[in-house]
């Protein structure tokens, strides 16, 4: 059993949800100019942690890399590329 809990790691699904949230329209009330995001590509290093509960449920957690300096034992870093495209009728 892995009793993993840390404030810096959040469920991986939450990370994806936050990165994919393109619902806000940026608009200047004075000029009426607006910006709508149609596509975004995010490339970032990510640290992953797999946790298994007493009920054998697997949860994947993620965070930005926690190591800022090279040490003899580094955690495994992964590179994630996520492309999000808004569709008509969002």
Query: Residue 31's pLDDT is what?
Result: 92
Lowest mean pLDDT among 17-26, 54-63, 66-75: 66-75
Single pTM value for the model: 0.55
Look at residue 3 and tell me whether its pLDDT is greater than 60: no
- Of residues 36 and 51, the one with the higher pLDDT is 51
| Residue 90 in this model has a pLDDT that exceeds 50 | no
Give the 3-state secondary structure of the chain.
CCCCCCCCCEEHHHHHHHHCCCCCCEECCCCCCEECCCEEEEEEEEEEEEEECCCCCEEEEEECCCCCCCCCCCCCEEEEEEEEECCCCC
- State what percent of residues in the chain have pLDDT above 70: 76
């Amino acid at each position: 059993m892995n009793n993993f809990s840390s404030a810096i790691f959040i469920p991986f699904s939450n990370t994806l949800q936050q990165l994919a949230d393109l619902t806000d329209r940026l608009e200047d009330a004075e000029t009426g100019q607006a910006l709508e995001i149609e596509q975004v590509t995010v490339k970032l290093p990510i640290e992953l942690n797999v946790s298994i509960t007493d009920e054998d449920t697997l949860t994947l957690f993620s965070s930005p890399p926690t190591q800022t300096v090279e040490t003899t034992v580094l955690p495994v870093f992964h590179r994630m590329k996520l492309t999000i495209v808004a569709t008509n009728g969002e």
